[in-house]
């Protein structure tokens, strides 16, 4: 039975609702009252959520292997022929949507959490200028993100990918009067673009390798005419034209991963995310925690069939993930801005997700993506509520003792903090434990140490650091004595219902969200993993499939105890340093000043990038400007002009002295010849008279002589 | 209708000229009348070109709307017009931008309005003639006709360094076109040597004859044409006239210069230069490599120079060097996608850069400066301007669902097929493009208003909307549904590739059996077992 029903057939409505309201806001929003703006913008996201939920239910109605629904709206880019795997193919990128278990999870997270954050924004942004603009951008973001997760091909995914990047740019720079905000937006965009170059090249390589960018031809009328990457890959593997570890697959996987490091803020392209905290807090919650930054994780999972055949790329993904996880966590320890702590925490948690993907635990990575979106959205929204209560204060050192002053914020915040710290039975515990378990299982037991054990150790240590910095934050904000500035103290107020109700719903999800995937060894079936399995199966089970170490219940408990133990240790440390002996942490910092400085300054990575790249490009720009003015124009163009003038001078000289010279010479010769003649041409009448007389005399003499002779002869 | 229909191209070609002639008879101090007549013929010029789109036989790879008449029979020069899908798009771009350029001058020009509109209309006819001519002699005449009005537009209505810029532009372009004239003559006389042939300047006939020339001759011919086109595009290192000309020209001049005039070069490359490539594979590869290298240098160099520019127009001018680098990259990749992308990108560049120059022109009219440092925070007094400027910026930097992305993506894919490194270097231009355009946007639009005069700048007027919105609409159209545009270029491009790179289509058809049916789900894969 193939999936069908109203909601599936109207899949295209899911991204369209927010697009329509976004266009409405950006065109005429300025003239609408705030209530109308909230009604349209939040309402459209709610409609998307309802349609998404309906579509998921209709998909669930069929057997697991048939849970794919695909619709092609129109042919989008049709640039002509290109070489494909079987000779020339006409390259076509559709505008089409795909709903399978993987996009089900994403679309529910995006619309669900997105809706809650939209509701929250009504309260949070209530007193801000540009209300319509904010919601317009937020809706535009929802459209882009939904296009990203519902796209049926890589190129349309890229549309969403760039679209969310644009909205991120616009929303980070929402307070565009602030230079730091505008700078941060620009930085985010450009750093993402650097990653995108890899992504684009990856798309090209996929297109030339498989002749298509469509993910799958499943559930399309004609699987040959509408080829899919998955099916083509399977056929090529069957024919032996591609094999496990083929360089071209590794190339594709690595290039796509470059894109993922940009969007999902991994080493070395994570630098934009902490700066992105310049945006309004709901933006940080929606874009920079719950949805957009997970796009890289989603994309890698979407291309899992290729990654499973590219072991080198998988190792790179795992190593980059683990490195980012611990590196970002260490930076979170020393931050004093509440949102910056959460930003580094997000980077670190995304590292966990990539670690999971890198060891082949795709569903575990997506599971952590989901639980993380619950508790991290909650943490950001909670932080926003705190900032709201303190009239804009973000410095942890100027907070404290808010536990009972703003209870509707502080209680959910504690739940989220426990969830991210990995305390059972909250959501974060199950997802993080599943990842660590998978990493550990890849470990070859005959060796004392191998890279998987090392990665696992990094993961566990990071879990400890995470618990530490999160409780450091929690204690500094909510417990201890109040360090709030006295003039702010009297204004402290609980946030309105529109803000606190989403907090409570997210708190509920942070508690229960993990129960979808209870460990198999507990005698439960991992519902979440089983649901996702058809979408992440890859092309062949046997090749490169993840070897799974045999795992006993005892070892499972041991691993759990290790991670819970180290989390507890982190919490205890935070308690000692920040609550029990509040002076102690400055002493610790003073004891290791260099380390402390390094962490405070975030390892000087921004400065290093500026020195190595940003300033060098600027220098190059100045240098090229000089090349244009001095070399190309100065030597080339002006040189040509100079040459023309020189030639013109030479030809002038030639004309004057050679050509004209010859003419003159001829004249001179004539002239010279005329000298004796001229001697007589004096112009003096008297001399002429003398000459005339002289001539006459000669003539007369001559003729006279002749006459004489003639006459004589006659005689 | 019959007469009109049979001479559609002539009508489109000479409508602006008629307008120019009419203006001659209007007294020189009747400025308003100049404007009215100029605008009337600008709009009319576009309207009469619309039937071309309606009646064009989509999917044909031959020239349509052909008109032929004897002109100078003694040398075989003819009045021959015709357009294919590629030139159709370029002609439409010309008539549209011509109309927009004329409309945009309403308040900008106050001196010598009569001459101004005459020259703009004359320029229009010149440009259309270049795209429509199917006779080399006619082509050359129009090519030179274009040059003169542009020279005067820059030299008379330009800003401070207008004379320098105008002379540089004129001499530079003329130098190139003289070499091209030699090329045309060489082509003409060598083709006439073939026994049994009649002397002709017919473009398809001469290019077909050139296929039988020895390679040594073809190489000479190729480089002869190359200089004219490379200067016009302009390719690195022949680009330095462009920033000067763009910066000094009045707004309408910049729009036409960037939007249409530069396309003469790329059009020349794909129509005339490609068939002159030598047949010998090694020699050809050498030439192609040089041209690709120059294109890539243009992309990256142009983009990097943009970063440090202080003058908005100069920045946009350099961005043209970068964008046109993409166009030539696509052409010399010699693949259908490269060429299609290149043609589309030529249109896109006309739209985006044309609009950018219009926007800067609007700021110039308000403040009489183009220095970036004189602005800042304009988003506050001019929110609508900010919105449109943002869309155009995004279109120029290749944001998906806007036009630039489609062109850049297609070009890079076409290049990638031939050589992965070409595409990789090309993507660098995309990163830099985002950097300089967004930085420019930030410095002009964001932040607090830094100069008090800017606090009261009026937002867009109705006329300014009318000028900008068609371009914005086109940007979205090409970005979301480019299929009709590709449909026009597909066949002509295929024809070119078949002619100049037949190997592309000869690629062995490595048969791939139909994709295996979807595998039935097996037992839960090992992945999830824990």
B516: pLDDT strictly greater than 50: no
Instruction: Determine which of A322-336, A536-550, B45-59 has the lowest per-residue pLDDT on average.
Output: A536-550
How many CA within 13 A on the CB side of residue B289?
A: 7
List strand residue ranges (DSSP E) for A436-533, in order. none
Contacts of B6 (CB under 8 A, 6+ apart): B67
pLDDT (tens digit per residue) in A559-610? 888 889 999 999 999 998 888 888 888 888 888 888 888 888 888 888 888 8
A259: pLDDT strictly greater than 60: yes
How far apart, in Å, are the Cα atoms of A602 and each of A138, A335, A570, A597?
Answer: 30, 9, 21, 8
Residue in chain A closest to B488 (alpha carbons) equals A79
Structure tokens at A651: 């030809």
The per-residue pLDDT of chain A, averaged, comes to 88
Q: For the CA atoms of A199, A204, A208, A211, what is the dihedral angle to 10 degrees? A: 80
Q: What's the whole-number mean pLDDT along residues B32-41? A: 90
Q: Is the peptide bond before A268 cis (omega within 30 degrees of 0)?
A: yes
Q: How close A635 comes to chain B (CA, Å)?
A: 12
Residues B256, B176 contacting (CB under 8 angstroms):
no
Residues in chain B: 530
Of A606, A584, A588, A605, give the one whose Cα is nearest residue A596: A588
Q: What's the whole-number mean pLDDT along residues B303-314? A: 91
pLDDT (tens digit per residue) in A322-380? 999 999 999 999 889 999 999 999 999 999 999 999 998 898 999 999 999 999 999 99
B320: pLDDT strictly greater than 80: yes
- Give burial (CB, 10 Å; 0-12/13-18/19+) of A225: exposed
Query: Chain A partners of B507 at a C-beta cutoff of 8 Å?
Result: 83, 87-88
Residues in chain A: 715
Q: Report the phi/psi class of residue A360: left, alpha or beta, with left for phi > 0 and alpha for psi in -120 to 50.
A: left
Structure tokens at A230: 């998955």
CB contact under 8 Å between A434 and B530, yes or no, is yes
Q: How close A239 comes to chain B (CA, Å)?
A: 9
The per-residue pLDDT of chain B, averaged, comes to 88
How far apart, in Å, are the Cα atoms of A708 and each of A583, A694, A698, A712?
Answer: 156, 20, 15, 6
Q: What's the whole-number mean pLDDT along residues A698-712? A: 75
Q: What is the structure's pLDDT at B524?
A: 39
Q: What is the structure's pLDDT at B526?
A: 38
Q: In percent, how much of chain A has pLDDT > 70?
A: 97
Considering only residues 573 to 612 of chain A, which have any Cβ-Cβ distance to chain B shorter than 8 Å? none
User: Backbone phi, then psi, for B371, in 5-degree steps?
Assistant: -70, 130
User: What is the Cα–Cα distance from B428 to B434, expressed in whole angstroms?
Assistant: 10
Q: Which helix (H) or strand (E) holds B64?
A: strand B64-72
Residue in chain A closest to B425 (alpha carbons) equals A197
CB-based contact, B420 to chain A, within 8 Å? yes
Most confident of A155-159, A651-655, A700-704, B452-456: A155-159
B523: pLDDT strictly greater than 70: no
Q: What is the structure's pLDDT at B106?
A: 86
Q: What is the structure's pLDDT at B2?
A: 66
Q: How close B90 comes to chain A (CA, Å)?
A: 18
How far apart, in Å, are the Cα atoms of A57 and each of A15, A60, A664?
Answer: 18, 5, 106
Q: What is the structure's pLDDT at B518?
A: 38
Q: What's the whole-number mean pLDDT along residues B126-133? A: 94
Strand partners, A636: none
Q: What's the whole-number mean pLDDT along residues B224-232? A: 92
CB-based contact, B306 to chain A, within 8 Å? yes
Q: What is the pTM of this model?
A: 0.89
Query: Chain A partners of B320 at a C-beta cutoff of 8 Å?
Result: none
Q: What is the structure's pLDDT at A11?
A: 93
Considering only residues 187 to 246 of chain A, which have any Cβ-Cβ distance to chain B shorter than 8 Å? 189-190, 193-194, 196-197, 200-201, 204-205, 207-208, 217-218, 223-224, 227-228, 231-232, 234-236, 238-239
How far apart, in Å, are the Cα atoms of B64 and each of B52, B69, B452, B497?
Answer: 9, 16, 56, 20
A8: pLDDT strictly greater than 50: yes
User: What is the Cα–Cα distance from A230 to A675, expressed in whole angstroms?
Assistant: 106
Query: Chain A partners of B400 at a C-beta cutoff of 8 Å?
Result: 158-159, 162-163
The residue among A628 and B340 whose pLDDT is bigger is B340
Contacts of B386 (CB under 8 A, 6+ apart): B378, B379, B445
Residue in chain A closest to B344 (alpha carbons) equals A79
Q: What is the structure's pLDDT at A393?
A: 86
Q: What is the structure's pLDDT at B121?
A: 93
Residue in chain A closest to B402 (alpha carbons) equals A159
Please list, residue by residue across A512-530, b when 16 or more beta carbons sit within 10 angstroms of its beta carbon and e when fewer do: ebbebbbbbbeeeebebbb
Query: Chain B partners of A625 at a C-beta cutoff of 8 Å?
Result: 305, 308-309
- Checking DSSP bridges between strand A69-84 and strand B77-83, what pairing results, if any? unpaired
B520: pLDDT strictly greater than 70: no
User: Backbone phi, then psi, for B110, in 5-degree steps?
Assistant: -120, -15
Q: How close A173 comes to chain B (CA, Å)?
A: 9
Q: Which helix (H) or strand (E) holds B65?
A: strand B64-72
Structure tokens at B521: 């789900």
Query: Chain B partners of A65 at a C-beta cutoff of 8 Å?
Result: 518, 520-521
B376: pLDDT strictly greater than 70: yes
Q: Is the peptide bond before B421 cis (omega within 30 degrees of 0)?
A: no
Q: What's the whole-number mean pLDDT along residues B79-99? A: 93
Q: What is the structure's pLDDT at A620?
A: 85
Give one DSSP letter per residue of A615-675, joined into a string.
Answer: HHHHHHHHHHHHIIIIIIIIIIIHHHHHHHHHHHHHHHHIIIIIIHHHHHHHHHHHHHHTH
Q: How close B12 comes to chain A (CA, Å)?
A: 29
- Checking DSSP bridges between strand B64-72 and strand A87-99, what pairing results, if any? unpaired
**Smallest Cβ distance to B400: which of A163, A217, A625?**
A163
Q: How close A215 comes to chain B (CA, Å)?
A: 13
Best mutation target, A78, A80, A535, to test chain B (most B CBs within 10 A): A80
Strand partners, A89: A82
Q: For the CA atoms of B350, B352, B355, B356, what is the dihedral angle to 10 degrees? A: -120
Please list, residue by residue across B482-501, b when 16 or more beta carbons sit within 10 angstroms of its beta carbon and e when fewer do: beebbebbbbbbbebbeebb
**Smallest Cβ distance to A235: which of B301, B516, B528?**
B516
Q: For chain A, how are helix, strand and coil distributed in percent, rounded to 5?
A: 75, 5, 20
Query: Chain A partners of B512 at a C-beta cutoff of 8 Å?
Result: 85-87, 232, 235-236, 239
Q: What's the whole-number mean pLDDT along residues B454-466? A: 89
User: What is the Cα–Cα distance from B246 to B253, expressed in whole angstroms?
Assistant: 8
Q: Which residue has the tokens 């109207």?
A: A10
Q: How close A466 comes to chain B (CA, Å)?
A: 25
Residue in chain B closest to A129 (alpha carbons) equals B380
Give one DSSP letter per residue of A124-158, joined into a string.
Answer: HTTT-S-HHHHHHHHHHHHHHHHHHHHBSBHHHHH
Q: What is the structure's pLDDT at B508?
A: 45
Query: Chain A partners of B301 at a C-beta cutoff of 8 Å?
Result: 624
- What is chain A's Cα-based Rg? 41
A501: pLDDT strictly greater than 90: yes
Q: If pLDDT is split at 50, 70 and 90, which confidence band does A702 have?
A: confident
**Smallest Cβ distance to A86: which of B399, B512, B521?**
B512
Q: What is the structure's pLDDT at A539?
A: 81
Residue in chain B closest to A251 (alpha carbons) equals B420
Query: Chain B partners of A155 at a C-beta cutoff of 8 Å?
Result: 409
pLDDT (tens digit per residue) in B190-202? 888 877 778 889 9
How many CA within 13 A on the CB side of residue A470?
A: 30
How far apart, in Å, are the Cα atoms of B335 and each of A88, A396, A690, B288, B411?
Answer: 12, 59, 98, 13, 9
Structure tokens at B423: 């595409």
Residue in chain B closest to A626 (alpha carbons) equals B305
Q: What's the whole-number mean pLDDT along residues B257-271? A: 92
CB contact under 8 Å between A551 and B530, yes or no, is yes
Q: Report the phi/psi class of residue B36: left, alpha or beta, with left for phi > 0 and alpha for psi in -120 to 50.
A: alpha
Of B61, B253, B264, give the one whose Cα is nearest residue B166: B253
Three-state SS for B63? coil
Query: Chain B partners of A610 at a C-beta cutoff of 8 Å?
Result: none
Please list, residue by residue across A352-390, b when 16 or more beta carbons sit within 10 angstroms of its beta carbon and e when fewer do: bbbbbbbbbbbbbbbbbbbbbbbbbbbbbbbbbbbbbbb
Q: Which helix (H) or strand (E) holds A269?
A: none
Terminal Cα-to-Cα distance of chain B (whole angstroms): 79
CB-based contact, A81 to chain B, within 8 Å? yes
CB contact under 8 Å between A519 and B530, yes or no, is yes
Structure tokens at A240: 């032996």
CB-based contact, B445 to chain A, within 8 Å? yes
Q: If pLDDT is split at 50, 70 and 90, which confidence band does B129 have?
A: very high
Q: How close A564 comes to chain B (CA, Å)?
A: 19
A443: pLDDT strictly greater than 50: yes
Query: Interior CA angle at B104 toward B309 and B143, to 5°?
Result: 80
A28: pLDDT strictly greater than 60: yes
User: What is the Cα–Cα distance from A625 to B304, expressed in whole angstroms?
Assistant: 9
**Smallest Cβ distance to A201: which of B306, B424, B438?**
B424
Three-state SS for B465? helix
Query: Chain A partners of B404 at a C-beta cutoff of 8 Å?
Result: none
Q: What is the structure's pLDDT at A551?
A: 62
A:B CB pairs within 8 Å: 239
CB contact under 8 Å between B240 and A189, yes or no, is no
CB contact under 8 Å between A526 and B528, yes or no, is yes
Instruction: Determine which of A14-23, A513-522, B114-123, B240-249 has the lowest per-residue pLDDT on average.
Output: A513-522
CB-based contact, A89 to chain B, within 8 Å? no
Q: What is the structure's pLDDT at B510?
A: 44
Q: What's the whole-number mean pLDDT along residues A303-307? A: 93
Q: If pLDDT is split at 50, 70 and 90, which confidence band does B512 have?
A: very low
Q: What is the structure's pLDDT at B355?
A: 95
How far apart, in Å, are the Cα atoms of A706 and each of A692, A697, A711, A715?
Answer: 20, 14, 8, 14
Neighbours of A318 (CB within 10 A): 23
A636: pLDDT strictly greater than 90: no
CB-based contact, A622 to chain B, within 8 Å? yes
């Amino acid at each position: 039975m193939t999936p069908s029903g109203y909601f599936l057939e109207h899949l295209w409505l899911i991204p369209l609702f927010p697009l329509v309201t976004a266009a409405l806001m950006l065109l005429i929003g300025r003239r609408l009252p705030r209530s109308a703006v909230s009604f349209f913008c939040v309402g459209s996201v709610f409609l998307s959520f309802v349609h998404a939920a309906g579509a998921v239910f209709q998909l669930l109605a069929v057997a697991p292997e048939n849970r794919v629904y695909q619709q092609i709206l129109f042919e989008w880019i049709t640039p002509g022929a290109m070489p494909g795997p079987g000779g020339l193919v006409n390259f076509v990128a559709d505008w089409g949507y795909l709903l399978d278990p993987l996009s089900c999870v994403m679309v529910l997270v995006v619309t669900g959490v997105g809706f809650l954050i939209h509701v929250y924004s009504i309260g949070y942004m209530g007193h801000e200028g540009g209300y319509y603009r904010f919601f317009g951008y937020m809706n535009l973001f929802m459209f882009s993100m939904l296009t990203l997760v519902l796209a049926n091909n890589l190129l349309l995914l890229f549309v969403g990918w760039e679209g969310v990047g644009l909205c991120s740019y616009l929303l980070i720079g929402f307070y565009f009067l602030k230079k730091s905000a505008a700078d941060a937006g620009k930085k985010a965009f450009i750093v993402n673009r650097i990653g995108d170059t890899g992504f684009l090249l990856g798309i090209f390589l996929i297109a030339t390798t498989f002749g298509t960018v469509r993910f799958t031809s499943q559930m399309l009328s004609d699987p040959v005419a509408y080829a899919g990457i998955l099916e083509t890959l399977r056929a090529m593997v069957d024919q032996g034209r591609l094999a496990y570890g083929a360089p071209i697959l590794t190339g594709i996987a690595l290039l796509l991963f470059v894109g993922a490091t940009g969007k999902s803020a991994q080493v070395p392209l994570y630098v934009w995310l902490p700066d992105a905290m310049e945006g309004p807090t709901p933006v940080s919650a929606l874009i920079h925690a719950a949805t957009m930054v997970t796009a890289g994780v989603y994309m890698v999972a979407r291309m899992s069939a290729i990654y499973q055949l590219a072991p080198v790329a998988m190792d790179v993904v795992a190593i980059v993930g683990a490195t980012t996880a611990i590196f970002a966590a260490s930076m979170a320890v020393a931050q004093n801005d509440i949102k910056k702590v959460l930003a580094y925490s997000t980077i670190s948690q995304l590292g966990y997700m990539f670690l999971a993907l890198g060891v082949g635990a795709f569903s575990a990575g997506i599971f952590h993506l989901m639980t993380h979106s619950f508790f991290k959205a909650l943490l950001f929204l909670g932080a926003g509520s705190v900032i709201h209560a303190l009239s804009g204060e973000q410095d942890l050192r100027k907070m404290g003792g808010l536990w009972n002053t703003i209870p509707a914020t502080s209680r959910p915040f504690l739940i989220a903090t426990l969830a991210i710290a990995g305390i059972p039975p909250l959501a974060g515990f199950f997802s993080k434990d599943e990842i660590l378990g998978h990493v550990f299982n890849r470990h070859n037991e005959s060796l004392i140490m191998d890279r998987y054990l090392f990665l696992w150790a990094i993961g566990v240590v990071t879990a400890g650091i995470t618990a530490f910095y999160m409780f450091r934050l929690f204690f500094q904000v909510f417990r201890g004595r109040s360090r709030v500035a006295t003039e702010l103290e009297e204004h402290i107020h609980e946030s309105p219902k529109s803000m606190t109700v989403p907090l409570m719903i997210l708190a509920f999800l942070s508690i229960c969200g993990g129960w979808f995937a209870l460990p198999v060894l507990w005698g439960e079936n991992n519902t979440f993993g089983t649901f996702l399995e058809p979408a992440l199966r890859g092309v062949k089970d046997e090749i490169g499939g993840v070897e799974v170490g045999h795992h006993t219940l005892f070892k499972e408990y041991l691993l759990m105890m290790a991670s819970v133990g180290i989390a507890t240790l982190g919490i205890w440390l935070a308690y000692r340093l920040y609550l029990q002996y509040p002076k102690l942490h400055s002493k610790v910092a003073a004891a290791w000043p260099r380390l402390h400085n390094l962490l405070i300054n975030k390892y000087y990575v921004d400065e290093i990038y500026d020195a190595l790249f940003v300033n060098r490009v600027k220098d190059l720009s100045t240098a090229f400007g000089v090349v244009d003015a001095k070399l190309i124009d100065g030597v080339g163009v002006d040189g040509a002009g100079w040459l023309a003038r020189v030639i013109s001078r030479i030809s002038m000289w030639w004309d004057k002295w050679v050509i004209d010279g010859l003419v003159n010479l001829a004249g001179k010769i004539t002239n010279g010849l005329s000298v004796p003649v001229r001697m007589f041409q004096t112009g003096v009448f008297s001399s002429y008279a003398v000459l005339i007389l002289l001539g006459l005399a000669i003539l007369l003499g001559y003729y006279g002589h002749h006459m004489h002779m003639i006459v004589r002869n006659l005689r | 209708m019959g007469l009109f229909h049979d001479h559609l191209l002539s009508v489109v070609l000479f409508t602006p000229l008629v307008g120019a002639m009419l203006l001659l008879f209007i007294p020189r101090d009747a400025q308003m009348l100049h404007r009215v007549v100029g605008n009337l013929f600008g709009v009319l010029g576009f309207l009469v070109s619309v039937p071309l789109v309606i009646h064009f036989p989509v999917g044909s790879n031959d020239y349509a709307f052909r008109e032929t008449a004897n002109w100078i029979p003694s040398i075989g020069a003819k009045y021959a017009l015709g357009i294919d899908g590629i030139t159709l798009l370029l002609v439409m771009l010309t008539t549209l931008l011509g109309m927009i350029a004329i409309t945009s001058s309403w308040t900008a020009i106050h001196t010598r309005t009569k001459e101004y509109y005459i020259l703009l209309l004359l320029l229009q006819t010149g440009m259309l003639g270049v795209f429509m001519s199917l006779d080399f002699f006619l082509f050359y005449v129009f090519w030179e006709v274009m040059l003169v009005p542009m020279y005067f537009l820059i030299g008379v209505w330009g800003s401070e360094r207008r004379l320098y810029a105008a002379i540089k532009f004129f001499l530079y372009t003329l130098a190139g076109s003289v070499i091209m004239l030699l090329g045309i003559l060489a082509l003409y006389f060598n083709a006439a040597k073939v026994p049994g042939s009649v002397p002709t300047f017919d473009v398809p006939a001469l290019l077909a004859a050139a296929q039988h020339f020895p390679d040594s001759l073809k190489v000479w011919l190729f480089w002869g044409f190359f200089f004219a086109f490379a200067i016009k595009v302009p390719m690195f290192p022949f680009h330095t006239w462009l920033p000067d000309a763009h910066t000094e020209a009045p707004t309408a001049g910049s729009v036409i210069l960037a939007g249409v005039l530069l396309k003469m070069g790329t059009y020349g490359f794909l129509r005339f230069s490609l068939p002159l490539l030598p047949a010998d594979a090694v020699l050809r590869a050498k030439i192609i490599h040089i041209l690709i290298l120059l294109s890539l240098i243009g992309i990256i160099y142009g983009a990097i120079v943009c970063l440090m520019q202080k003058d908005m127009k100069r920045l946009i001018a350099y961005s043209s060097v970068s964008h046109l680098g993409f166009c030539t990259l696509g052409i010399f990749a010699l693949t259908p996608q490269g060429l299609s992308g290149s043609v589309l990108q030529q249109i896109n560049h006309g739209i985006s850069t044309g609009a950018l120059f219009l926007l800067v022109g609007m700021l110039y009219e308000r403040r009489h400066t183009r220095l970036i440092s004189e602005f800042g925070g304009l988003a506050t007094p001019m929110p609508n301007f900010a919105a449109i400027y943002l869309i155009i910026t995004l279109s120029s930097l290749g944001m998906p669902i806007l036009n630039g992305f489609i062109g850049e993506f297609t070009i890079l894919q076409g290049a990638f097929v031939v050589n992965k490194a070409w595409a990789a270097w090309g993507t660098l231009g995309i990163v830099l493009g985002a950097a300089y355009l967004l930085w420019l946007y930030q410095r002009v639009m964001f932040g607090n208003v830094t100069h008090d005069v800017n606090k009261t700048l009026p937002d867009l007027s109705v006329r300014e909307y009318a000028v900008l919105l068609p371009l914005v609409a086109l940007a979205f159209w090409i970005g979301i549904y480019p299929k009709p545009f590709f449909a026009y270029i597909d066949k002509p491009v295929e024809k070119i590739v078949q002619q100049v790179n037949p190997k592309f289509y000869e690629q062995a058809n490595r048969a791939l059996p139909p994709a295996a049916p979807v595998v039935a789900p097996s037992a839960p894969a090992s992945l999830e077992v824990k």
